[in-house]
Amino acid sequence: MELSSGVPDDIDVTRPSAARVYDYFLGGAHNFEVDRQLAAQIASLTPNLAQTMRANRSFLRRAVRYLVAEGIEQFLDLGSGIPTVGNVHEVAQDANPQARVVYVDVDPVAVAQSRAILDGNKRTGVIHADVREPDRIVAEAVDLGLIDLSRPLAVLLAGVLHFIPDADDPTGITARLRSVTAPGSFLLVSHATQDGQPPEVLAAQRLSARTDTEIHLRSHDRILEYFGDFTLVEPGLVFLTRWRPEQVGDFDEHPEQVGAYGGVARK
Ligand SMILES: C[S@@+](CC[C@H](N)C(=O)[O-])C[C@H]1O[C@@H](n2cnc3c(N)ncnc32)[C@H](O)[C@@H]1O
């Protein structure tokens, strides 16, 4: 299926985008032929990848339900992607209809599709911005009237920090985001890793350099740095399927095959 509506004119359909490749792996319809070709190449090198992406989205859903149960009513979702299966606002508002969600993505297709899907939902907003501009993002989220910095906030960085090279200071970005939040706030991070991975994964990582968003695999210790002085909730920073699993699933025997860590920490 091709993209149907809400696609801006300035989209380069000859160059794959990480958001659309991810959408394809999740079974969504918001992708072009060029994205599907790259997805097929990546999948041939890392057959687990589609499951890994589903594991990431599944981790995000479990964590959002946990955060709502902890009393969180506002979410800032950075690198939110194309709202395909199980969006943050659906999960959060299902548990608490008052929950507010601001989605942020750098990809114009993700932003256009998010706006189309969220039209009419007054407790959600969409910002077209780069994670590397944390101050602008926070200011716009407050201006939208959806985020109140005097109250606990959940900052979600699911599957996005591995697109930020060290040169752009992902540690500084997360520190800035943590610093603006009130006590009782949370930070969620999921991030691809080279830990326990076979050499093919590195070849797939090189293929990602063909998108505007090359993937930077990082170790457990490096990813831990993003939580700063926040306290990780149980079970800590773990392979995605090990974070409060609700059912038996893929990678139970070899959780490292998921190739990504996830964790949630409290201020
Ligand atoms: C793998 S998807 C993750 C989607 C969603 N957060 C999830 O975990 O299911 C990564 C998203 O991050 C976005 N992204 C990549 N680099 C970004 C940046 N520098 N600023 C904002 N978004 C970015 C991509 O466009 C894509 O939509």
The CATH number covering residue 153 comes to 3.40.50.150
**Ligand 1 centroid – CA 100 distance (Å):** 19
Q: For all residues of the chain together, what is the average pLDDT? A: 89
Q: Give the model's pLDDT for residue 9.
A: 65
- Asked if residue 217 is part of any domain, the answer here is yes
How many C-beta atoms lie closer than 10 Å to residue 33's C-beta? 11
Q: From CA 176, how far away is CA 157, in angstroms rounded?
A: 13
Q: What percent of the chain has pLDDT over 70?
A: 94
What is the residue with the minimal CA distance to atom 27 of ligand 1?
81
- Asked if residue 3 is part of any domain, the answer here is no
Is 237:261 a contact under the CB 8 Å cutoff? Answer: yes
What is the residue with the minimal CA distance to atom 3 of ligand 1?
159
Number of domains forming the structure of the chain: 1
Q: From CA 49, how far away is CA 39, in angstroms rounded?
A: 9
Q: Is 46 in the pocket of ligand 1 (CB under 6 A)?
A: no
**Ligand 1 centroid – CA 213 distance (Å):** 9
Q: Is 21 in the pocket of ligand 1 (CB under 6 A)?
A: no
What is the residue with the minimal CA distance to atom 5 of ligand 1?
80
**Ligand 1 centroid – CA 10 distance (Å):** 19
**Ligand 1 centroid – CA 232 distance (Å):** 23
Higher pLDDT, 29 or 67: 67
- Asked if residue 10 is part of any domain, the answer here is no
- Asked if residue 8 is part of any domain, the answer here is no
- Asked if residue 7 is part of any domain, the answer here is no
Taking only the tens place, the pLDDT of each residue in 86-140 is 789 999 999 999 999 999 999 888 898 889 888 888 999 999 999 999 999 999 9
- Asked if residue 216 is part of any domain, the answer here is yes
Q: Is 35 in the pocket of ligand 1 (CB under 6 A)?
A: no
- Show the tokens assigned to 97: 């209809």
- Asked if residue 202 is part of any domain, the answer here is yes
- Asked if residue 13 is part of any domain, the answer here is no
Q: Which domain holds residue 163?
A: 18-266
Q: How many helices (H) and strands (E) does the chain have?
A: 9, 8
